[in-house]
A and B are shown apart, each in its own frame.
Chain A
Amino acid sequence: MSLYKSLFRATYFLPFIFFASFPTTTNYSLQSYSFGSGSVVNSSTTTYAIEGNTGSNSGQSTSTINTTIKPGFIQTQQANVPVISTLDNGGGLYYNKLHFVVDNQANPTDALYLISVSTDNFVSNIAYLQTDGTLSSTLLLSDYQSYGVLGGASGSLIVGLNPSTTYYVRALATAGKFTESNFGPISSVATVAPILNFSLDTSTQPAAPFSVNLGSLNAGQIVTSSQTINTSISTNGASGGNVYISSQYGGLHSPSTNYTINSTSNDLATVPEDYGAQVANITVGSGGPLNSVNPYNTTGTQVGAVSQSMHSLYSSLNPINNGNGQLVLKAKTASTDTAATDYQDVLTFVASGNY
């Protein structure tokens, strides 16, 4: 080896030998440093911007399961990585939406957050939360939403989801150009199946066939059924549910005499004859409320008419569990109502949910 070459190598490797041991104190140690080249500027077009810098650490990351350390200037200016602190299906109610809360990790108030949702844990199915709560696979600038728009500490809803499906959700934050963080950790929860449950019985008959006997009707007397007709509805329908009533004859009908005491919505005290229904009581396990619907939401001697058409009897605008309604029947006969022992009607009760 020539002297020239030996000198060159010595000169070349000297700094690295010298810098092989970096400054260290008890609390801090300088891992590396480099020389900036200077003269690097940012550049942008209408739609894109690039930030350049030199002299930064190479950016080698160190990670554990829970944390990632990314050294360098570009990392230090990034927003704090937000966390989906809550992701739930409303306690087993939501079949087409999910509730989430963003933990903003003390980002500045002008920070914006992007919520990303996937059904395959971000393998290929990726969508973004829009301002109306729905998802779109097309990312728009408007999808970056403030902490307040996302409901703050109360959170917000992702809507338009499919039932019985697991959704994976993550968030990132940005506080201006070149500050967008990585996505935070992924949370997941499944929507439930839509539910409708309905039952019918009477206060004296827990099982079918159900019957209510109004007894012997004397002219001019107002008779109230001693039994109640009890319905129960449970549904997680986002817009609640309804219970309906219909009548086979639209009144009390005597086949043997072909006479019908027609059902009308009236005060029995003011009409010679009538037959109808009145809501006596409503209880709700949870959710609701369950309301009686006009004309059945009456008291005293008032009744609502039943007919061959389906009429709304009870209604809830919200999901409801064990919405129970008790119905009584009332009748009054005139002296000219044909005497017979076979007056009858068949009331049908059905329920539906609004999903």
Chain B
Amino acid sequence: MYISKIKIHNVKKRISIVAVLGLLLTISMPMFANASSLGQAGVRLGRLGNGASTNNDALVTFKLNTTPTSVADVVLTFPSGFTLTAGTITPTTTGFPATPSGITVTPGTLSATVVSAGAGLGGTITVSGLTSASLTSTNLYGFDIPTGSITNPSTAGQYSITVSSDTSTPTVIDSTLVPVYIYGTSANQDQVTVTASVSPNFNFALSSNSDTIPAVDPTTIQTSAGVNMTVGTNSPLGYTAYVKSANGALVSATSPSTPISTGVFSNSTPNTLTAGTTNYTFVPSTGTACSICTGSLSYNGGYTITNGNQGGAFNGTNFAAFVSRNGYTNADVVTLKERVTVANTVAYANDYTDTLTVVAAGNF
């Protein structure tokens, strides 16, 4: 470095002496006036839609730079366009997303003061309560400003939020401009609505197509082994099952004059069978319960059987509803039996028969 130059003249000779000072160690110069940038900073708004406020939180991530242990507050300065709702809020520090990777909980008991500059005029959110002594310049810290404080600008475009680290004075230590992008012409421009319909389904099965009633005489009440009806449906209103007797009686080809007729049909009360009195009834009961279902299974009053002497009379040769569910079910198993008594005038025969038709329908 050229420091000085001295000329000495006299009458005898001219001598130039150049003195050079080599500056070898420290030289003090005027300080750079501006604060530095944060090591890293990001703001993820919960909504980018124009004017959106619903679910509009703000995940703030930052890596400190200068004197991290002097940082007491982190201040977010929102530019004009944003509307902030003034108040005191509590930032959260859980549920960070996978990226940017390695977000660390900001140490401290955080609280935030939201100052609004007016509608559409921005404002500040000052997050305080940081444990300064625990802060480093290597961690990527994060906290989330909960919904309710931020309303997006009504004009699309890029807006820059300033994220700064402040002392407790407060004096800005480092700051970084973080752009966010407000998108589209309305609040839902950042959203996609997904629609679908679930097709109705219904399934029905009988475990067998025949059922045998043990030999019956005037002294006994006999009940068949039964057939299992299984019904499944995704109808939110469930289903109803019906039964119809082909003859309203058990009839014998060899003794056609003495059918074993069904009793008096009732929608409210089952028949009570008495040995020696002819009756032919239907006895539904719940088998294996459904594992995925809503609502409940209910039996028509005429088929609500509570003991071994009861049975529901068939509705002549017409369908009669006997059970229903008011919700969906993966599989309702209902066991269908026939219960019979005979008078001593019923002719002997071993070919009494009837055909029951069982149907079910979903209530869609």
Contact = CB atoms under 8 A, between A and B. Distances in A.
Interface of A: 12, 34-35, 37, 40, 47-59, 72-74, 95-96, 119, 124-128, 134-141, 160-163, 177-178, 180, 182, 193-200, 202, 208-219, 223, 229, 235, 237-240, 242, 244, 246, 252, 254, 256-257, 259, 261, 293-294, 309-312, 315, 329, 331, 333-355
Given A312-B98, A344-B195, A355-B42, A72 B15 contact: no
B19 A162 contact: no
B74 to A, nearest CB: 15
A243 to B, nearest CB: 9
A52 B17 CA distance: 7
A354 B181 contact: no
Contacts of B160: 193-194
Interface residues of B, number: 84
Contacts of B29: 126, 128, 137-139
B29 to A, nearest CB: 5
Contacts of A135: 32
A235 B48 CA distance: 15
B19 A48 contact: no
A212 B194 contact: yes
Nearest to A202: B192
A339 B236 contact: yes
Contact of A346 (B2, B32, B193): B193
A336 B100 contact: no
Interface in B65-93: 65
B235 interface: yes
B194 A347 contact: yes
24 contacts: A34-B16, A52-B19, A54-B15, A57-B16, A58-B5, A125-B30, A137-B32, A140-B26, A162-B34, A193-B177, A199-B183, A202-B192, A212-B194, A218-B199, A218-B201, A219-B199, A229-B192, A239-B42, A309-B95, A312-B98, A339-B236, A342-B197, A355-B177, A355-B179
B40 A35 contact: no
Given A209-B193, A212-B193, A355-B40, 16 more contacts: A48-B22, A59-B16, A211-B194, A212-B192, A218-B199, A219-B234, A257-B236, A259-B236, A261-B198, A293-B98, A310-B46, A329-B194, A334-B330, A338-B235, A339-B235, A355-B41
B155 interface: no
Contact of B234 (A162, A194, A216, A338): A338
Contact of A336 (B13, B181, B185, B293): B293
B188 A209 contact: yes
B207 interface: no
Interface string B109-134: 00000000000000000000000000
Given A162-B34, A196-B181, A293 B99 contact: yes
A200 B47 CA distance: 13
A135 B23 CA distance: 20
A7 to B, nearest CB: 14
Given A216-B199, A310-B97, A56 B193 contact: no
A252 B194 contact: yes
A50 B198 CA distance: 91
Given A339-B198, A352-B42, A51 B16 contact: no
A11 to B, nearest CB: 10
A336 B192 contact: no
Contacts of A96: 37, 176
Interface of B: 1-2, 5, 7, 11, 13-34, 36-37, 40-48, 55, 59, 61, 65, 95, 97-100, 158, 160, 176-181, 183-186, 188-201, 203, 232, 234-236, 292-293, 328-330, 364
A34 B13 CA distance: 8
Contact of B32 (A49, A59, A136): A136
B194 A353 contact: no
A242 B100 contact: yes
A310 B185 CA distance: 23
A178 B48 CA distance: 60
A244 B181 CA distance: 14
B1 A180 contact: yes
Residue from the set B2, B13, B21, B185 with the largest chain A CB neighbour count within 10 Å? B2
B193 A211 contact: yes
A194 B177 contact: yes
A354 B42 contact: yes
Contact of B16 (A54, A209, A238): A54
B190 A336 contact: no
Contact of B97 (A214, A311, A351): A311
B7 A350 contact: no
Pick the most buried of B23, B25, B177, B192: most chain A CB atoms within 10 A of its CB.
B192
A73 B32 CA distance: 36
A311 B98 CA distance: 7
Contact of B11 (A12, A52, A211): A12
B236 A349 contact: no
A336 B179 contact: no
Given A50-B20, A50-B21, A211-B192, A197 B181 contact: yes
